[in-house]
A = this chain, B = another copy of it.
């Protein structure tokens, strides 16, 4: 089976840097997957993407060495299994609030007897190899999101679930959970303290700490703090920054041209 190179990095104690896809297109997915990220995550929760658009995106990522991940829309076994069959080497499961949630996420990622994943993969055996069944339980990364008040309260219960690979902080929802509103609040002490608390709990339980960021500034900070799964940037962030930056840069020329009329 093709190894999960992100899990290899983790075993070596190294951070794995990834990106997020919200645009439902296999073309933009292929471009992003060629940029040099360790993993590329198709976001089917907040991205404008569902199964039929995600499938060719996973194929497009598979033309590169980047590991294909999927954020599923919710903690539901059927959709977790469906994206694993479709080629995901990691699933990011949002809004995990309890040990039971985390156990369900893990069980959906593992074949019996470790879980109850249904056997019948489709394209994954072409991407992963015909011996996928034998190694999938080891190679597939099960990643739960920590972002609700309940999750903060149940951290140790959640992180001690066997088979859990990583815990990934959703900073906007975490901010909401802390009563700070639905925006990035990395510099708010309450937010920073919660982030640290999650990371330390991960380290205590041998779970990889991960976090979603808004770019290189926060990513650098969290890498330095010890996070090992870093979401650096997204397809739409690039589109927006590119357009805004270029439009700002031509204003002098535009103003001069208009003044000259």
A73 touches B63 (CB 8 A): no
Contacting residues, chain B, for A27 (C-beta < 8 A): 22-24, 48, 55, 122-123
Answer whether residue A243 sits at the interface, using C-beta atoms and an 8 A cutoff. Answer: yes
Closest chain B residue, CB of each to CB of A215? B246
Copies of this chain present in the complex amount to 6
Q: Given A14-B261, A25-B28, A28-B28 in contact, is the A52-B55 Cβ separation under 8 Å?
A: no
Contacting residues, chain B, for A230 (C-beta < 8 A): 250
Q: Given A111-B176, A220-B253 in contact, is the A78-B73 Cβ separation under 8 Å?
A: yes
Q: How many of A's residues come within 8 Å of B, CB to CB?
A: 107
Contacting residues, chain B, for A237 (C-beta < 8 A): 242
**C-alpha spacing A224/B251, complex, angstroms:** 11
CB neighbors of B among A113-155 (8 A): 113, 116, 118-123, 126-127, 133, 147-149
Which of A33-41, A98-106, A187-195, A198-206 faces chain B? A33-41
Q: Given A30-B123, A45-B120, A48-B55 in contact, is the A239-B238 Cβ separation under 8 Å?
A: yes
Closest chain B residue, CB of each to CB of A244? B35
**C-alpha spacing A15/B259, complex, angstroms:** 11
Q: How far is the CB of A24 from chain B (nearest CB, A)?
A: 6
CB neighbors of B among A62-118 (8 A): 62-63, 73-74, 76-79, 81-82, 85-86, 94-95, 111-113, 116, 118
Contacting residues, chain B, for A232 (C-beta < 8 A): 246-247, 250
Q: Given A19-B243, A177-B112, A257-B223 in contact, is the A172-B120 Cβ separation under 8 Å?
A: yes
CB neighbors of B among A5-59 (8 A): 12-15, 17, 19, 22-28, 30-32, 34-37, 45-53, 55-56, 59
Given A216-B245, A219-B253, A220-B252, list of 12 further CB < 8 A pairs?
A17-B250, A28-B235, A31-B123, A32-B243, A36-B247, A59-B63, A74-B78, A112-B149, A119-B173, A119-B183, A219-B250, A238-B239
Which residue numbers of A lie inside 8 Å of B, CB to CB?
12-15, 17, 19, 22-28, 30-32, 34-37, 45-53, 55-56, 59-60, 62-63, 73-74, 76-79, 81-82, 85-86, 94-95, 111-113, 116, 118-123, 126-127, 133, 147-149, 170, 172-173, 175-177, 179, 181-183, 215-217, 219-221, 223-224, 226, 230, 232-233, 235-247, 249-250, 252-254, 256-258, 261
